[in-house]
Amino acid sequence: MPAHPRNNTPMSIRVAILGPTGYTGLALIEWLLRHPDARITYLASHREELPNIGEVFPRLQSAIPDDVAVCKPIDPEAIAHQADVAFLALPHRTAMQHVPPLLDAGLNVIDLSADYRLADPDLYEATYDHPHCDREHLPDAAYGLPEFFRSDIKHAKLIANPGCYPTAAALALAPLLRRGIIATQGIAISAASGVTGAGRAPAPHLHFPEQNEAFGPYGRIGMHRHQPEIEQTLTTACGEQVGLLFVPHLLPTTRGIFQTIYADPVDQDVTEENIFEAYEDHYDDEPFVRVRNDLPNTRDVNNTNFCDLTARVVRTNGAAKVVLFSTIDNLVKGAAGQAIQNMNIRFDRDETAGLI
Amino acid sequence: MPAHPRNNTPMSIRVAILGPTGYTGLALIEWLLRHPDARITYLASHREELPNIGEVFPRLQSAIPDDVAVCKPIDPEAIAHQADVAFLALPHRTAMQHVPPLLDAGLNVIDLSADYRLADPDLYEATYDHPHCDREHLPDAAYGLPEFFRSDIKHAKLIANPGCYPTAAALALAPLLRRGIIATQGIAISAASGVTGAGRAPAPHLHFPEQNEAFGPYGRIGMHRHQPEIEQTLTTACGEQVGLLFVPHLLPTTRGIFQTIYADPVDQDVTEENIFEAYEDHYDDEPFVRVRNDLPNTRDVNNTNFCDLTARVVRTNGAAKVVLFSTIDNLVKGAAGQAIQNMNIRFDRDETAGLI
Amino acid sequence: MPAHPRNNTPMSIRVAILGPTGYTGLALIEWLLRHPDARITYLASHREELPNIGEVFPRLQSAIPDDVAVCKPIDPEAIAHQADVAFLALPHRTAMQHVPPLLDAGLNVIDLSADYRLADPDLYEATYDHPHCDREHLPDAAYGLPEFFRSDIKHAKLIANPGCYPTAAALALAPLLRRGIIATQGIAISAASGVTGAGRAPAPHLHFPEQNEAFGPYGRIGMHRHQPEIEQTLTTACGEQVGLLFVPHLLPTTRGIFQTIYADPVDQDVTEENIFEAYEDHYDDEPFVRVRNDLPNTRDVNNTNFCDLTARVVRTNGAAKVVLFSTIDNLVKGAAGQAIQNMNIRFDRDETAGLI
Amino acid sequence: MPAHPRNNTPMSIRVAILGPTGYTGLALIEWLLRHPDARITYLASHREELPNIGEVFPRLQSAIPDDVAVCKPIDPEAIAHQADVAFLALPHRTAMQHVPPLLDAGLNVIDLSADYRLADPDLYEATYDHPHCDREHLPDAAYGLPEFFRSDIKHAKLIANPGCYPTAAALALAPLLRRGIIATQGIAISAASGVTGAGRAPAPHLHFPEQNEAFGPYGRIGMHRHQPEIEQTLTTACGEQVGLLFVPHLLPTTRGIFQTIYADPVDQDVTEENIFEAYEDHYDDEPFVRVRNDLPNTRDVNNTNFCDLTARVVRTNGAAKVVLFSTIDNLVKGAAGQAIQNMNIRFDRDETAGLI
C-alpha cells in the first residue's frame, strides 16, 4: 500500500499516544488520523511484547503508517524527541507514574485517566483506594472541560481530561447551578452507558449473550468513582457544596452515554425559558454543545463530539421538578474527542479542527 | 402435521383472544399453548379479511391447531358458545366497544387495553382524550394486579389488566407507601422499555437502523398516559394522594421494562432493612415477585412472569434518598402473563399454572 | 415463596442434569420446568464448590424448587436413585468419562456432547484430537435425530444428541440425497450461528462491543468439527460417501442457526416441486419440521423446537443449482429441545410433550 | 454557534447533493464535512416542502453550515452556479431524469443510483422493469469502481457509482477470473447486509423488534437486481460470460456487507498462494483494498472505505473448492465513500483525501 502523505505538513502537531490498545486509544487514533493539523508519530505501550496496532485493531491496517503502527516502549526522552504532546490512555494509577518524566522531558501531557481530575489528593485516595504518587504536579493540572475552563487549558502543560459521565453531567447542570436556578442538594442522575465504557477486557457480564437484550444498574449504588468528580466541577461552578446521587446503568449498545437528571428548582415558578436562557447564555458560542428543543438521543451524538442537551419543567400536585437530558458519545466528547479539543485549544488551533 | 392433543381435557378453560395480531396477542397465544389447563378455542379479529395467525406469525405454524388459526369475526354469541373467557388485546377505545356484549353473552372478560383501568371515567377521558363509552361496567371492573387486588379479581367478571409500566412501578412503590416509609410526593421514575412496548406498527423512529444503538426518552415528559394509572394504584394502596414524575425511555431491545425510582424517605434514619422487611411482609407468599439483594436486570426477567425488585438507601451530605429498582417483561408480567395469572385466579386454578 | 407442586405426579419422568451451568444447561432446565410429565430431581456439577443454580442464573430463582437448585456431586448411584434419565451438558471429553458409570447404575443417558455422535472412534479421535475412552458403549449409542433414527432412539439406553449445525444441515439435505435429487459431492453450506453457540465463557472476540454490529466467518475453514458428523448422517441416509464444505459464521445475536446450502442437482431438469415432494414425503408426519413456501428466518424458530425449511431451484446460463434454507434455534432443536424430544420418544410419551 | 471555516479554501471542490435525506445522503454529508478539499454548497430535494437537513438528521445540527442546511429545489442552473460536482442519491428511475440537465449545465455528475450502471439499456429495462429514459448519456458513463476503471473515471463527466453488493463481489472475484484461476460458471455468493442497505423507509419486516435477533434471506432468490451488475463487471474483467448465483440475507445490524463466495478452480492443483498472488498483483497499489491472511469481519470495515478480502482453498474428497471472503461498509465503500473516491480521481486530488 502507498504511504498516505496526509497531515505531514512540517507545522502539524506531533502526537504520541501511550496505551493505544484500548477503546479510548482506538478512538484517539481514528480521530487523529482525520485531523488536518496533527499527526501521530509515536505509539507507546508498556507491554513487554510491543504490539502492532494493526494487529490489535485490524480496522487500522493501512490507515496508519507502518513505521508508527508498531508500538515502542514508554521512553519519555524518545517521545519528547518525536512528539509535541502525549495523550495518556493508560489505566488509573499507571498514568501518574508516567506523567512526571513526560513533563520533565518537555512534553505537553493530556491525561485521559482519572489521576489528575480531583484537585484534592485525599479525595482521590479515598475514591480510588490508592495513594496519589504525584502530588507535586496535581495543582498544575487544568481540568479539561473547555466549556468551563478554557483559559486554564490554554496555559496548562498538564491537562486532566474529564470522565465521560462527569462531562455529560457537568454540561447539563453547571449553568443552572451557577445561575441559582436549581437547588444544590437532592440532584439525582440516572445515567446509562454503552459497553465500551466498561473497557475492552472480556468479563462474564459483558459477554455478548449476557449484555445483548439486557439493561440494568451496576456497581455499588451511590459509590461510583465519577460522583466526586461531578460534585467538584459543580461546586466550582456555583461556589457551594453540591450533593448528588449518581446511578449508572449499562446499555446493550457499543457507545453512548445518556443522563436523565432530576433536580429541584430554587424558585417554584421556574420556567423552561429560564433554563434555556441560562443554557444559551453559557453555550451560545460553544461549538460542541447543542441546546435542543426536542428530546435528545444517543443516536444523534454517537461518533460525534457533540453534547446534546434539553430541559423540561414538570409540575405534579403543584410541585415543580426540573428534568434535564444530556447525551454524549462516551468515547468522543467523553474521552478522545474532548482530548483533541483540549489539544486544539492548547496548541492555538481552531477548536473544532478534526472534530466536525 | 399431526394434531397436538395437549390441553384438550374436557375441563380445561376455553379461551378466546380478540385482537391476536399484535405482540400482546402473540404472547398470549404462546403462553396459553403451554398452559396445562387452558386451551385457545377462538381467535377473533375485526379486520375485514380475517387473518390466519400462522401467516401473521410464521413461528406459530403447526404449533396452533389449524381450526383455530384462522381468525373469526368478533361475534359475542359465537365466542360465548366456544369460550369461557375472552382476552381483549385490542387498541384502547376499541376494547370498551366490545366488552358490554361479551359480558352480556356471559363471558368472563380480561381486557388488556387501558379502557377499564382508571376508576374515574373523567380522568380516563382527560388522559386518553376520548369519551368513555361504557361507564356502566366500569365500577365492576377489578384492577388485575394480583399482588394487591387478588380477592377482587377472584370475583370479577371483568378484569382490567394493568399497564406494563404501572405494574413495575406499583410493585416497587406500593408496599413502601402503605407502610409510610417513603413520602407520597416527589417520587421520580426513570423508566426504560423495549420496543415491543411501542407496538407492532412500523414507524420512522422504530425502524431498525434508527432504534439500534439508540437510547433516549420519548413522548411529552410528565404527560405519559400510564402516570394517572400508577398514581391511582398507589393512592389506593396508601390512602393518600400520591404525586410522581414518570419519565419513559426507549431501549434498543425487543423486550423488557426497567424502572429506577427515586423517593424521599419519611424518616431520615430509614434503613435498607426497613424496606426489605416491608417487601418481604407483602411479597413473601407471592409467586411472581422476587425481592433480590443484588441488582436486577431485564435479562433475568425477560420471557418470565417475574418482577424482580431491590432497594438501596443512599446518603449524600447527610440527606437520605431511597432508590428502588424494578424490572418485568413488558409482554409477560406487563401484559399476557399477568392476564393469564388473573385467569388462573378467576378460574380457581393454581396461580402459577402455565407461567413457570 | 410457595413450593410449586406442578409436575410432581408420581409417574412423571425424573430427570438429572449433569453440567447445568452453561447455556445448554439453562435451556434444559427452562424447558423441563414446563414439561407436563417430567421433573428435574438432580442437578450435578463437577465443580469443587457446588453452585446454586439460582445464583448462576438469577432468572431461575423461585422457578426451580429450592432442594433441587443447589447442585450435588456427580455420583452415579445417587443420581440413579433419584432419576430415570441423565442429561449430560458436559464438555466434550468429560462426558464420556461419566457415561459408563451412569449406564452401569441403570440410568438412561442422553449425552449432549459430541462424544458418542461419530460411530467411528478413529474419526472421533482425529476430529477432536483426543483418545476416545469409551469405545465399549459407542456402538450402542443411538444418534438422536428423531426424523431419521426414531426407532433406534426408542430402544437405546444411550442417546447421542446431535450437534446444532448437523441437525439443521441433515434435515435439509438427507431427504434429497436419499431420493437422489442432489449430487453427493460439491455441497457447500454457509452457516451462521448466534453467540450462545460459542458457549458461556467470555473471550475477547465475544466481548459485547466486538460482537455487536459484527459478522464474519470463524475457525479453520473446512475443518469444523461438525463437518464429519454432518457427512456421517448424510452418508447413512443415502448409502454413498457424501462430501461437503462447511463454512460457519458468527451472528450478532444470542440465538439462532441459519444455513444456506448450495447443491448440484443430479438431473438438470429438477424442479422445486420435486424437492418439496421429497420433503413432504419425509416430513409429513413430523411435528417439528416445517416445510415452508416462503423464506425462513431465525426469528420464526427462536425459542421453539421447530426446524423451518425451504428450497429454491435457480438456473443461471442454463445450469441449475439447488439452494436450501434451514433454520433452528441452536439451544432448542439444536440442543435441549431435541434432547427432550428424544426423552419423550424413549419414555413413550407424546413426542411433543413440553415442546409446543 | 460560530461558523466553522474549515474547507472553505477558494480551490476546494464545491459539491451538491441531490436527495440528501436517505442513509446514503447522510453518509455523503458526514464524509464530505471531513474532506480537506471539498465543501458542500447545495443540498437539493424534490420534496415539495423543502426539508432542513438538521431536522431530518439531528446529528448534523451545527455541523453543517446554516445556509446549506435548508434544501433547495433541484434547479440545474442554480446548482451549476454553486457547485462543481453533483452527487445523486436519488431513487432509481428518478436519477436519470435529472442527469441530462445537470450535464448540460456543465456539472460533473456522480450518480449513486443504478440508472447508469448497466451498459446495456435493454438489460436495465428487464432488470428494473422500467424504460431507460436517457440512452443518450448511458455510453458516456464510467463505471465507478476505481480498482478496475480508474482511467475511465478520470475522464468521465458522468460516473455511475457501483452498487454495494457488486463492489464487494467484483473486488473478490475479478482478479481471479481475469487470471483464469476460477471457473466462470457455478459461482455462488452468500451475501449478508445491514439494514441500512434496505433504505430509510419503515416497513413491517424492518421494524426493530422484527429485525432484532433475526437473520434470513430475502427477495426472489436468483433474481436480485445486483446480479446482472456483478456479472457485467466480471464479464468485462475476464472477457468471458460469467454466470453466478447471488443469495442476499439481512443482518440484524445497521451497517456492513459480508460475502462468502464459493467458486470452482480451473486447475485442481490451485493453491492459496496462487490466489494471494493474483490479489497482490492487482491490489498492491490500491489504498482501499486490504488482502488479509486472517478472516475478515464487518467490524473491521464499518465506518471505513476499506474492502477486506481473503481466500481459502478447501479440498473435500479430493475435490478443490475456492472460498472467498469479502466485506465492506455498504454506506461507505458501497456508496458514499466510493463516490468521494471517484470525485477525488476525477478532480485530480489524492485518492484517499477525506477517506482515511
pLDDT digits (tens, 9 = 90+) for D253-279: 999 999 999 999 999 999 999 999 999
Count residue pairs from B and D with Cβ separation < 8 A: 62
- Could you tell me the pLDDT band of residue A5, with boundaries at 50, 70 and 90? very low
Whether B93 and chain D come into contact, CB under 8 Å, resolves to no
φ/ψ bin of C39: left (φ > 0), alpha (ψ from -120 to 50), beta (otherwise): beta
**Distance from C-alpha of C240 to C-alpha of B290, rounded to nearest angstrom:** 57
Whether A185 and chain B come into contact, CB under 8 Å, resolves to yes
**Predicted pLDDT at A187:** 96
**Distance from C-alpha of D341 to C-alpha of D352, rounded to nearest angstrom:** 7
Using a CB cutoff of 8 Å and minimum separation of 24, what contacts does B276-285 make?
B276/B311, B278/B175, B278/B176, B278/B178, B278/B179, B278/B181, B279/B175, B279/B309, B279/B311, B281/B175, B281/B179, B282/B147, B282/B174, B282/B175, B282/B178, B283/B147, B283/B175, B283/B309, B284/C1, B285/C1, B285/C2
Of A23, A203, A208, nearest to C211 by CB-CB distance is A208
CA distance A182 to chain C (A): 37
CB atoms A200 and C209 under 8 Å: yes
In terms of C-beta density within 10 A (0-12 exposed, 13-18 middle, 19 or more buried), how is residue B121 classed? middle
Whether B254 and chain D come into contact, CB under 8 Å, resolves to yes
Decide: helix, strand or coil at residue B85.
Answer: strand
Residues of B in contact with A185 (CB under 8 A): 316-317, 319
**Distance from C-alpha of B29 to C-alpha of B82, rounded to nearest angstrom:** 16
Q: In what order do the strands lie in the sheet with C13-18?
A: C38-44, C13-18, C85-88, C108-111, C158-160, C142-143
**Predicted pLDDT at B238:** 92
Average pLDDT for chain A: 95
Average pLDDT over residues B183-194: 97
Q: Which residue of D has its CA nearest to C193?
A: D215
Which residue do the cell numbers 430431581 mark?
Answer: C41
- Could you tell me the pLDDT band of residue C316, with boundaries at 50, 70 and 90? confident
Residues of A in contact with D299 (CB under 8 A): 59
CB atoms A258 and B215 under 8 Å: yes
Percentage of chain B lying above the pLDDT 90 cut: 96
CA distance C265 to chain A (A): 39
**Distance from C-alpha of B98 to C-alpha of B76, rounded to nearest angstrom:** 8
The H or E element that residue C284 is part of is none
CB atoms B207 and D202 under 8 Å: yes
Q: Of D269, D278, D335, give the one whose Cα is nearest residue D305.
A: D335
CA distance B63 to chain C (A): 6
Decide: helix, strand or coil at residue D160.
Answer: strand
Q: Which residue of B has its CA nearest to C298?
A: B59
Radius of gyration of chain B, Cα coordinates, nearest whole angstrom: 20
CA angle B112, B116, B122 (to 5 degrees): 140
Whether C351 and chain B come into contact, CB under 8 Å, resolves to no
Average pLDDT over residues B212-235: 96
**Distance from C-alpha of A222 to C-alpha of B216, rounded to nearest angstrom:** 23
Q: Which residue of D has its CA nearest to B194?
A: D209
**Distance from C-alpha of B170 to C-alpha of B147, rounded to nearest angstrom:** 10
**ipTM computed for the complex:** 0.95
pLDDT digits over C16-75, tens only? 999 999 999 999 999 999 999 999 999 999 999 999 999 999 999 999 999 999 999 999
Contact by Cβ (8 Å): C168, C251: no
Contact by Cβ (8 Å): A209, C195: yes
Q: Of A325, A261, A286, A309, give the one whose Cα is nearest residue A150.
A: A286
Query: Is it the case that residue B2 has pLDDT exceeding 50?
Result: no
**Predicted pLDDT at A133:** 96
What residues are paired with C143 via a beta bridge? Answer: C160
Give all strands (DSSP E) within chain B, no chain letters: 13-18, 38-44, 85-88, 108-111, 142-143, 158-160, 187-193, 216-217, 244-250, 257-263, 289-291, 307-316, 319-328
Residues of D in contact with A350 (CB under 8 A): 4-6
Average pLDDT for chain D: 95
pLDDT digits over A265-297, tens only? 999 999 999 999 999 999 999 999 999 999 999
C-alpha cell at B311: 432497594
Of D62, D285, D301, nearest to A59 by CB-CB distance is D301
Chains in contact with C, where contact requires at least 3 CB pairs less than 8 Å apart: A, B, D
Active-site hit among C71, C133, C164, C238: C164
Whether A46 and chain D come into contact, CB under 8 Å, resolves to no
The phi, psi pair for D108, rounded to 5°, reads: -80, 140
Q: Of C153, C166, C88, C90, give the one whose Cα is nearest residue C127.
A: C166
What residues are paired with B327 via a beta bridge? Answer: B258, B308
Contact by Cβ (8 Å): D245, D222: yes
Active-site hit among A71, A164, A238, A307: A164
Give all strands (DSSP E) within A164-318, no chain letters: 187-193, 216-217, 244-250, 257-263, 289-291, 307-316
Which residue do the cell numbers 406487563 mark?
Answer: B334
pLDDT digits over A19-30, tens only? 999 999 999 999
Beta carbons within 10 angstroms of residue A218's beta carbon = 15
What residues are paired with A40 via a beta bridge? Answer: A15
Decide: helix, strand or coil at residue D21.
Answer: coil
**Predicted pLDDT at A318:** 83
CB atoms C23 and A209 under 8 Å: yes
**Catalytic residue list contains D307:** no
CA distance B93 to chain A (A): 27
Q: In what order do the strands lie in the sheet with C216-217?
A: C216-217, C244-250, C187-193, C257-263, C319-328, C307-316, C289-291
Average pLDDT over residues A242-263: 97
Residues of B in contact with D335 (CB under 8 A): none
Going by C-beta distance under 8 Å and a sequence separation of 6 or more, which residues neighbour residue C38? C7, C12, C13, C14, C15, C32, C340, C343, C353, C354
Q: Which residue of C has its CA nearest to A256?
A: C209
Residues of B in contact with A258 (CB under 8 A): 215-216, 249
Query: Is it the case that residue D10 has pLDDT exceeding 70?
Result: no
Percentage of chain A lying above the pLDDT 90 cut: 95
In terms of C-beta density within 10 A (0-12 exposed, 13-18 middle, 19 or more buried), how is residue C152 classed? middle
In terms of C-beta density within 10 A (0-12 exposed, 13-18 middle, 19 or more buried), how is residue B178 classed? middle
pLDDT digits over D20-62, tens only? 999 999 999 999 999 999 999 999 999 999 999 999 999 999 9
Q: Which residue of A has its CA nearest to B222?
A: A314
> What length does chain D have?
356
Contact by Cβ (8 Å): A103, A86: no
CB atoms C256 and D295 under 8 Å: no
Transcribe B290-354 into DSSP letters.
EE-SS---HHHHTTSS-EEEEEEEEEETTEEEEEEEEEE-TTIIIIIHHHHHHHHHHTT--TTTT
Whether C216 and chain A come into contact, CB under 8 Å, resolves to no
Angle between helices A226-238 and A121-128 (to 10 degrees): 150
CA distance B210 to chain D (A): 8
Contact by Cβ (8 Å): D329, D255: yes
Average pLDDT for chain C: 95
pLDDT digits over C289-311, tens only? 999 999 999 999 999 999 999 99
Residues of B in contact with C299 (CB under 8 A): 59
Average pLDDT over residues A329-347: 98
Count residue pairs from B and C with Cβ separation < 8 A: 82
- State how far Cα C262 lies from the chain centre: 22
- Could you tell me the pLDDT band of residue B289, with boundaries at 50, 70 and 90? very high
Residues of C in contact with D328 (CB under 8 A): none
**Predicted pLDDT at C318:** 83
Query: Is it the case that residue B135 has pLDDT exceeding 90?
Result: yes
Average pLDDT over residues B320-328: 98
**Distance from C-alpha of B235 to C-alpha of B215, rounded to nearest angstrom:** 31
Give the residue numbers of B marked as catalytic.
164
Residues of D in contact with B210 (CB under 8 A): 208
Decide: helix, strand or coil at residue A346.
Answer: helix
Q: Taking the model in full, what pTM does it have?
A: 0.96
Q: Of B285, B329, B283, give the one whose Cα is nearest residue B310.
A: B283
**Distance from C-alpha of A112 to C-alpha of A199, rounded to nearest angstrom:** 13
Residues of C in contact with A215 (CB under 8 A): none
Contact by Cβ (8 Å): C117, C138: no
**Predicted pLDDT at B316:** 86
Going by C-beta distance under 8 Å and a sequence separation of 6 or more, which residues neighbour residue C122? none
Q: Of C4, A81, A310, C43, give the one whose Cα is nearest residue B305.
A: C4
CA distance C222 to chain D (A): 6
CB atoms C325 and D244 under 8 Å: no
**Distance from C-alpha of C98 to C-alpha of C94, rounded to nearest angstrom:** 7
Which of A8, A56, A59 to mutate against chain D (most D CBs within 10 Å)?
A59
Whether A58 and chain D come into contact, CB under 8 Å, resolves to yes
- Could you tell me the pLDDT band of residue C265, with boundaries at 50, 70 and 90? very high
Strand-strand pairing, D85-88 and D257-263: unpaired
Decide: helix, strand or coil at residue A222.
Answer: coil
